[in-house]
A = this chain, B = another copy of it.
């Protein structure tokens, strides 16, 4: 799976990319591996390039966020249409979704005119063969397309809208793809051992535990070492996964203590 985030606000450092990490965490927990995250600005050519490059790597899923709204700088669908050499046109199902949203808002007295102005109609202009995904909390529908075996899933950038469509329409796809495979992780925090001393201990533990991936995350400078050691594995069987994690965690903890390191705390989490 690849993630493409679209929005100048990410490239000027105005907005922290919480969408990417939310999606990455969610996909990982469902057993879907994220291979790359790309961030591009609100430019048709940049969006088209990023989508073309991602499609060339033939991932099973590409999820994009951002650029689906009614303003001039919402250019995601235009960029994707360009990448795929498909035309953009009104999708009747999408137009109905947008119309119903504005009618509901008007019924609740939140809107005077339900008129489908060009900025509103814009949200229903999809590339040919695309299907809209209903947006439970906002106006712009998500979009799904199949491109030579890659499911291209296009979501808005407002976090509440992205998350709602993701939960409703993408989680079931991911579950079907990964079967019951899930991601399991555990962390141990160690003090008084430097990362450079830890390195061969991690090597040995990974060698002895071939299904476990271990990564050290230094939380302070080498001089006052405080390091998180993160263990992870994927498995269809939660018990197998927890046993594997436990075994590797114990082995590495013992090696660390032999070298004078202190184990500070353990945290285990299964998704």
A interface, CB within 8 angstroms of B: 8-18, 20-28, 33-42, 46, 50, 53, 69-73, 101, 105, 108, 110-111, 117-120, 123, 137-139, 158, 160-161, 183, 185, 194-200, 202-203, 206, 213, 215-218, 221-224, 230, 232
**Cβ A111 vs Cβ B194 within 8 A:** yes
**Cβ A110 vs Cβ B223 within 8 A:** yes
> In the complex, A13 Cα to B166 Cα: how many Å?
15
- Beyond A10-B21, A38-B38, A69-B218, 18 additional pairs, beta carbon < 8 A: A8-B213, A15-B21, A16-B21, A17-B17, A20-B39, A36-B39, A36-B46, A69-B195, A70-B195, A70-B196, A71-B202, A101-B222, A117-B196, A117-B200, A118-B200, A119-B195, A119-B199, A139-B221
Q: Offer 7 A-B interface pairs, CB within 8 angstroms, sorted by A.
A: A11-B36, A13-B22, A13-B23, A13-B26, A70-B195, A105-B222, A158-B221
A76 to chain B, nearest CB (A): 14
> In the complex, A10 Cα to B39 Cα: how many Å?
13
Query: Which residue of B is nearest A7, CB measured?
Result: B215
> In the complex, A161 Cα to B223 Cα: how many Å?
13
Copies of this chain, how many? 2
* A-B pairs, 4 with minimum CB distance: A13-B25, A13-B24, A119-B199, A37-B39
**Cβ B37 vs Cβ A11 within 8 A:** yes
Q: Which B residues touch A230, using CB under 8 A? A: 9, 14
> In the complex, A206 Cα to B72 Cα: how many Å?
10
Given A196-B117, A199-B119, is A34 in contact with B21 using a C-beta cutoff of 8 Å? Answer: no
**Cβ A13 vs Cβ B8 within 8 A:** no
**Cβ A12 vs Cβ B38 within 8 A:** no
Which of B21, B35, B69, B206 interacts with A13 by CB under 8 Å? B21
Q: Which B residues touch A69, using CB under 8 A? A: 195, 216, 218
A261 to chain B, nearest CB (A): 13
Which of B33, B218, B232 interacts with A158 by CB under 8 Å? B218
Query: Which residue of B is nearest A101, CB measured?
Result: B222
> In the complex, A26 Cα to B223 Cα: how many Å?
27
